[in-house]
């Protein structure tokens, strides 16, 4: 009896062990197949990077983020292009146009615009509005888009016959870029609803992120500093420009951030550091709700009176700079309401050639103002036409800034004179 029972128990144990072994082998086989699928691994890597870094994790519960991963990986994904499309579909429920997959060409172009001084394309910097329409943030100076009369606030309706709604932000931007000498047909709608088509020839656009000059009249010498975007080299170039203006003994400074759509946030903060002494520059709010105030260093490169020019093409990192100067009473803002992009993206490599941009934080001005969707309100509004060339003799915006700085300098001179007279009387 005991012998039969022991044999039966041994047999059951063997069967159980075999089932476990077979099940384990099957699981290992599945994992091994998944591990060998580079395209699915790309999707999983993208999901993991977003899961670890996205600034609003509460959104994950709303859209069932883990279930989206599961359903995406169940799809037939055999090529890299299918993986990119699957990642785009996976990210869409986040409803954040700035968290996006960057195919190899877009990834390389974005890196070159952040680190280099030239880019091939038509010179448009794009964003999305509340209705997911592709909107022009700004045009680059001297670009084909600027020459064609495309302005901030225009909408991109079609690119080479394909609707921007179908393409989305990333693919619309991608189709506008390309080899110098090639052409692209763009359908534009103005804010007033007027439609037109423009045939743009792509070319190498010189970004020249920092430009400077000295403005002189009968009474004062004013420095003019224009920053077109915040690439890696900008803080050093700004330091050199401010030093040069200092040697020319400028009494005031006009900082021109019109149509500066941003770039590297770290570069914008570094420029603020050159103009502020031990003042808060910006507060960041990440997924944990922590606000970290970044404080400028004590030394400044220029501490004289300032005016900062902004318009509806002033966005992102340039809004951080403008907000820090305004909130610390370092400079008045003159011009138009700014664009209102208050989200910070981190750029991550994905595979060998592609990348993914992830919104990792939002930023607030030193006084706690939220820039996202609202923008910065200037101290003095300007309702004037744009000049053909910013900073030129016919630029009425710059002329208004000059007049304002001139009046400030006159007041300062009067105060110094009164103080001097009072001191003489006491003697």
Of the candidates 327, 331, 354, 362, the residue annotated as catalytic is 327
Residues 400 and 252 in one domain: yes
Q: Is 200 helix (H, G, I), strand (E, B) or coil?
A: strand
Mean pLDDT of the chain: 85
Better-scored residue on pLDDT, 417 or 421: 417
In-domain check, residue 425:
no
Banded model confidence at residue 74, pLDDT cuts 50, 70, 90? very high
In-domain check, residue 214:
yes
Of the candidates 143, 164, 267, 316, the residue annotated as catalytic is 316
Residues 314 and 366 in one domain: yes
Look at residue 422 in the predicted model and tell me its pLDDT: 55
In-domain check, residue 427:
no
Better-scored residue on pLDDT, 151 or 130: 151
In-domain check, residue 351:
yes
Residues 30 and 70 in one domain: no
Give the angle subtended at the CA of 365 by the CAs of 294 and 126, to the nearest 5°. 105
Residues 172 and 284 in one domain: no
Residues in the chain: 427
In-domain check, residue 239:
yes
Residues 351 and 223 in one domain: yes
Residues 370 and 270 in one domain: yes
CATH of the domain at 340: 3.90.226.10
In the chain, the number of structural domains is: 4
Residues 44 and 143 in one domain: no
> From residue 412, how far is each of 304, 373, 407, 409, 419 by CA, in Å?
11, 37, 9, 5, 11
| Order of all β-strands in the sheet with 332-335 | 210-216, 221-227, 252-256, 306-310, 332-335, 380-381
Give the pLDDT confidence of 340-366 residue by residue, as tens digits.
Answer: 989 888 889 997 789 999 999 999 999
Residues 322 and 407 in one domain: yes
Better-scored residue on pLDDT, 6 or 329: 329
Residue spans of beta strands (DSSP E) within 129-279: 134-139, 155-159, 162-163, 183-189, 195-201, 203-206, 210-216, 221-227, 252-256
- Known catalytic membership, residue 423: no
Q: Specify the DSSP element, H or E, that contains 125.
A: strand 124-128
In-domain check, residue 111:
no
Burial (CB count <10 Å: 0-12, 13-18, 19+), residue 301: middle
Tally of CA atoms within 13 A in the half-sphere of 45 that contains its CB: 20
Of the candidates 341, 348, 354, 395, the residue annotated as catalytic is 341
In-domain check, residue 406:
yes
Banded model confidence at residue 268, pLDDT cuts 50, 70, 90? very high
- Known catalytic membership, residue 303: no
Residues 249 and 276 in one domain: yes
Banded model confidence at residue 28, pLDDT cuts 50, 70, 90? very low
Residues 169 and 271 in one domain: no
Write out the two tokens for 196: 């037109």
Is the per-residue pLDDT at 130 higher than 90? Answer: no
Provide the residue range defining the domain that includes 49.
37-95
Domain end (from 188, 206, 224): 206
CATH of the domain at 131: 2.30.42.10
Residues 326 and 233 in one domain: yes
- Known catalytic membership, residue 327: yes
In-domain check, residue 242:
yes
Residues 86 and 193 in one domain: no
Burial (CB count <10 Å: 0-12, 13-18, 19+), residue 318: buried
CA dist 46 and 40 (Å) reads 10
């Amino acid at each position: 009896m005991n012998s039969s029972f022991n044999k039966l128990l041994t047999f059951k144990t063997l069967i159980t062990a075999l089932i476990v072994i077979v099940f384990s082998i099957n699981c290992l086989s599945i994992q091994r197949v998944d591990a060998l699928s580079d395209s699915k691994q790309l999707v999983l890597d993208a999901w993991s990077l977003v899961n670890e870094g996205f600034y609003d994790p509460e959104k994950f519960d709303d859209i069932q983020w883990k279930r989206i991963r599961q359903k995406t990986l169940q799809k037939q994904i055999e090529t890299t292009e299918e993986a990119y499309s699957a990642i785009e579909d996976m990210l869409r429920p986040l409803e954040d146009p700035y968290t996006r997959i960057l195919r190899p060409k877009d990834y390389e172009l974005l890196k070159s615009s952040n680190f280099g001084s030239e880019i091939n394309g038509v010179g448009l910097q794009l964003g999305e509005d509340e209705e997911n329409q592709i909107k022009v943030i700004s045009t680059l100076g001297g670009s084909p888009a600027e020459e064609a009369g495309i302005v901030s606030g225009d909408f991109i309706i079609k690119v080479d016959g394909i609707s921007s709604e179908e393409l989305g932000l990333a693919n619309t931007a991608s189709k506008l870029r390309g080899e110098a000498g090639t052409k692209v047909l763009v359908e534009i709608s103005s804010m007033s609803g007027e439609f037109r088509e423009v045939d743009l020839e792509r070319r190498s656009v010189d970004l020249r992120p920092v430009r400077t000059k000295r403005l002189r009249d009968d009474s004062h010498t004013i420095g003019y500093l224009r920053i077109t975007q915040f690439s890696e080299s900008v803080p050093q170039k700004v330091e050199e420009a401010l030093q040069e203006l200092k040697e020319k003994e400028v009494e005031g400074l006009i900082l021109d951030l019109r149509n500066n759509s941003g770039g590297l946030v770290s570069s914008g903060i570094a420029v603020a550091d050159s103009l502020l002494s031990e003042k808060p520059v910006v507060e960041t709010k990440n997924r944990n709700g922590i606000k970290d105030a970044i404080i400028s260093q004590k030394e400044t490169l220029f501490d004289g009176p300032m005016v900062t020019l902004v318009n509806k093409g002033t966005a992102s990192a340039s809004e951080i700079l403008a907000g820090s100067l305004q909130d610390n009473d370092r400079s008045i803002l003159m011009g138009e309401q700014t664009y209102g992009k208050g989200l910070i993206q981190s750029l991550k490599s994905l595979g060998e050639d592609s990348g993914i941009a992830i919104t990792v934080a939002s930023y607030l001005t030193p006084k706690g103002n939220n820039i996202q969707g609202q923008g910065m309100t200037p101290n003095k509004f300007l309702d004037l036409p744009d000049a053909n060339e910013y900073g030129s003799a016919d630029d009425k915006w710059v002329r208004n800034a000059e007049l304002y700085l001139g009046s400030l300098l006159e007041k300062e001179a009067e105060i110094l004179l009164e103080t001097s007279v009072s001191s003489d009387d006491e003697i």
